A and B are shown apart, each in its own frame.
Chain A
Amino acid sequence: MKITREEVEHVARLSRLALEPTEIDVLTGQMDQLLGYVEKLNELDTEGIVATAHAVPMENAFRADEVKPSLGLERALQNAPQSEESCFVVPKVIE
């Protein structure tokens, strides 16, 4: 086994997904199969190979720090499940 049920439960917590026990069962089998498949990368010696993060070589894209028009409050809040005045409302964080 590449991955255990407990590890899958842990990854679900890291992913902020409240999964049903049956979903955990199915995912354990599927992730095990997929992790087994990606093992094939270990056939390749990558010692000294530089990792590619982007296919096009890129440097940080700097721009002048200028004030420009932005989305604006009304449009920024238009899709919020819950908002009040100029804020997004979330459940209580600290009791």
Chain B
Amino acid sequence: MSFSQMSIRQLQQALRDGKTSSVELTRACLARIAATDERINAFVTVCAETALAAAAEADSKLAAGEAGPLTGIPIAVKDIFNTAGVRTSCGSRILENYTAPYDATAFARLQEQGAILLGKLNMDEFAMGSSNENSANGPVRNPWDLERVPGGSSGGSAAALAAGQAFATLGTDTGGSIRQPASFCGVVGLKPTYGRVSRYGVIAYASSLDQVGPLTHCVEDAALMLGVVAGYDPADSTSVDCPVPDYLAGLDAGVKGMKIGLPREYFIEGLDPAIKQAVEAAIEVYRGLGAEIVEVSLPHTDYAVACYYLIATAEASSNLARYDGVRYGVRQQGEGGLSGMYEKTRAAGFGDEVKRRIMLGTYALSSGYYDAYYLKAQKVRTLIREDFLKAFEQVDLLLTPVAPTAAFKLGEKTDDPLQMYLSDIFTIPVNLAGTCALSLPCGMDGQLPIGLQLIGQPFDEMRILQAAKAYEAETDWHQQRAPLD
């Protein structure tokens, strides 16, 4: 078995048995990045020297029998995570010269457990986008088809895995930004419950929705990564202080007797026939494994995109006020003293999508419009959240497609913001409800991967991981690799 087909636990075993070394794995990843990234553009920064030095240190720890669950495993993180001493540009011109002065907690936890940082991954600017075309570093290309998008905003995090450049990555998900690219690139992507993982040191987009999560080759790796990054952090007052279960220990419980709900609003016209077919086949797999399939309703689904684009943009307009050319970032001199400098700095530093969202959010919060837009959206958010809580009185988890289509072409939706926003129709409601969901490979539309979404109750990541593992054991979609050579 080649290393690229091995789970992190298998790699750990190989490391402990001396069949490979962290230096060898790290060199292999760096070589793969060198060979493929001119085409993919997943990495914005590669930390070759520090990675190899850390790998050598990991090898001494392994030799001394002091290995943690990630010791010596090369990983990479979205460029939204502060990584001390490493450029952290968040896909934006305005931060192109920003070097993080400290570590984000989620990344620090990976490093404490021995993970090796290969570098930082491309993304839509400030995590705003569904195609990774809104990056100051240029678009990421889908390793399955270089003419197509990898999804966004964690496009680099998904594409790097699909291209075999890293063994696991971290992303963030505000409206689908882990799950949709995972689905487009044929990997596993987990968005944990709001509050499950600390966001300290993660550059903020929409603070009531943002959440950190892993992208991996298999469900077991996602469980392992979640176990490392999850848990209360005093530095993030929105992280929730509830125990982190041993996700790996409970992983093989199966789905016999589990009640799986199919929200009828997710199986609508506009859903690509290939996606529908793949998801229906997955439902049959679950039936065969002894799960009980129940139809449920999430009646406010159709309002989620509108609700999201008011709440997320309002929060973004506030969060991005900090980019003013004073404390960090690229400053532009302008006429008109301090406010002239602000206006020039921000106009030159932000890309079109970020400007559009700041504008929409500022409008939604502005005097005279607050009640009609922002407050209205927050009330609708309550209805959407209640839909989920009611459904979870009947079922253990929900099963849906991740996206209405497989990966679309570069440039296909860039001129039509609304069409782009609607590609997140099945992922956005989960963020509004604040619960957890994962995407896992469940089929192919020609040469393009299709993702299955499992949505769990708040803080019940365990159950969706169990259900995903049971499916993975029956199928081999997760073993498919992009034809990139």
Q: Which residues of A come within 8 Å of B, CB atoms? A: 3, 7-8, 11-12, 14-20, 23, 27, 30-31, 33-35, 37-38, 40-44, 46, 49-56, 58, 61, 63, 71, 75-76, 78-82, 88, 90-93, 95
CA distance A1 to B363 in the complex (A): 15
Residues in B neighbouring A37, C-beta threshold 8 A: 305-306, 309, 418
Can you name the residue of chain A whose Cβ is closest to the Cβ of B102? A71
- Chain B residues touching A, majority SS: helix
Residues in A neighbouring B324, C-beta threshold 8 A: 16
Residues A11 and B355 in contact in the complex (CB < 8 Å), given A38-B306, A44-B303, A56-B240: no
Is B283 close to A, CB under 8 A?
no
Tell whether, in the assembled complex, residue A93 and residue B337 are in contact, meaning their CB atoms are under 8 Å apart.
yes
Is B350 close to A, CB under 8 A?
yes
Residues A90 and B338 in contact in the complex (CB < 8 Å), given A14-B362, A49-B383, A81-B325: yes
Is B373 close to A, CB under 8 A?
yes
Mask: chain B, 327-343; 1 = CB below 8 Å from A; 0 = not? 11111011001111111
Residues in A neighbouring B44, C-beta threshold 8 A: none
Q: Measured between C-beta atoms, what is the minimum distance from B354 to chain A in Å?
A: 10
Tell whether, in the assembled complex, residue B343 and residue A17 are in contact, meaning their CB atoms are under 8 Å apart.
yes
Q: Which residues of B come within 8 Å of A, CB atoms? A: 97-99, 101-102, 193-195, 208, 234, 237-238, 240, 300, 302-303, 305-307, 309-310, 317, 321, 324-331, 333-334, 337-344, 346-347, 350, 352, 355-356, 358-360, 362-363, 366, 373, 375-383, 385, 417-418, 432-435, 458
Residues in A neighbouring B347, C-beta threshold 8 A: 17-20
Among the listed A40, A61, A78, which residue makes an inter-chain contact with B99, where contact means beta carbons less than 8 Å apart? A78
Can you name the residue of chain A whose Cβ is closest to the Cβ of B347? A18
Tell whether, in the assembled complex, residue B195 and residue A30 are in contact, meaning their CB atoms are under 8 Å apart.
no
Tell whether, in the assembled complex, residue A23 and residue B355 are in contact, meaning their CB atoms are under 8 Å apart.
yes
CA distance A14 to B359 in the complex (A): 9
Tell whether, in the assembled complex, residue A11 and residue B363 are in contact, meaning their CB atoms are under 8 Å apart.
yes
CA distance A81 to B369 in the complex (A): 36
Most interface-central of B102, B325, B458 (chain A CB within 10 A): B325
Most interface-central of B337, B342, B359, B379 (chain A CB within 10 A): B359
Most interface-central of B340, B360, B373 (chain A CB within 10 A): B360
Among the listed B101, B333, B358, which residue makes an inter-chain contact with A15, where contact means beta carbons less than 8 Å apart? B358
Residues in B neighbouring A18, C-beta threshold 8 A: 334, 340, 343-344, 346-347
Tell whether, in the assembled complex, residue B234 and residue A31 are in contact, meaning their CB atoms are under 8 Å apart.
no
Residues in A neighbouring B342, C-beta threshold 8 A: 16
CA distance A61 to B99 in the complex (A): 30
Can you name the residue of chain A whose Cβ is closest to the Cβ of B384? A52
CA distance A74 to B222 in the complex (A): 38
Can you name the residue of chain B whose Cβ is closest to the Cβ of A39? B306
CA distance A63 to B232 in the complex (A): 14
Can you name the residue of chain A whose Cβ is closest to the Cβ of B310? A38
CA distance A12 to B366 in the complex (A): 12
Tell whether, in the assembled complex, residue B359 and residue A8 are in contact, meaning their CB atoms are under 8 Å apart.
yes
CA distance A91 to B352 in the complex (A): 26
Can you name the residue of chain B whose Cβ is closest to the Cβ of A51? B378
Tell whether, in the assembled complex, residue B101 and residue A79 are in contact, meaning their CB atoms are under 8 Å apart.
yes
30 CB-based A-B contacts, threshold 8 Å: A14-B366, A16-B321, A16-B343, A16-B346, A17-B343, A17-B350, A17-B355, A18-B343, A34-B309, A37-B306, A37-B418, A38-B306, A40-B302, A43-B303, A46-B379, A49-B379, A49-B382, A51-B375, A51-B382, A55-B208, A55-B435, A56-B194, A56-B238, A56-B434, A71-B102, A79-B328, A81-B329, A81-B331, A90-B341, A95-B337
Residues A31 and B418 in contact in the complex (CB < 8 Å), given A17-B343, A51-B378, A81-B325: no
CA distance A44 to B383 in the complex (A): 10
Residues A81 and B326 in contact in the complex (CB < 8 Å), given A17-B355, A52-B385: yes
Residues in A neighbouring B310, C-beta threshold 8 A: 38, 41
Tell whether, in the assembled complex, residue B339 and residue A16 are in contact, meaning their CB atoms are under 8 Å apart.
yes
CA distance A51 to B97 in the complex (A): 39
Most interface-central of A18, A37, A61, A90 (chain B CB within 10 A): A18
Residues in A neighbouring B380, C-beta threshold 8 A: 41, 44, 46
CA distance A58 to B237 in the complex (A): 9
Residues in A neighbouring B325, C-beta threshold 8 A: 81
Residues in B neighbouring A17, C-beta threshold 8 A: 343, 346-347, 350, 355, 358-359
Residues in A neighbouring B376, C-beta threshold 8 A: 41-42, 46
Tell whether, in the assembled complex, residue B383 and residue A76 are in contact, meaning their CB atoms are under 8 Å apart.
no
Tell whether, in the assembled complex, residue B378 and residue A58 are in contact, meaning their CB atoms are under 8 Å apart.
no
Among the listed B208, B302, B338, B362, which residue makes an inter-chain contact with A11, where contact means beta carbons less than 8 Å apart? B362
Q: Measured between C-beta atoms, what is the minimum distance from B333 to chain A in Å?
A: 8
Q: Measured between C-beta atoms, what is the minimum distance from B242 to chain A in Å?
A: 10
Residues A52 and B309 in contact in the complex (CB < 8 Å), given A37-B418, A79-B99, A90-B326: no
CA distance A63 to B233 in the complex (A): 13
Tell whether, in the assembled complex, residue B330 and residue A81 are in contact, meaning their CB atoms are under 8 Å apart.
yes
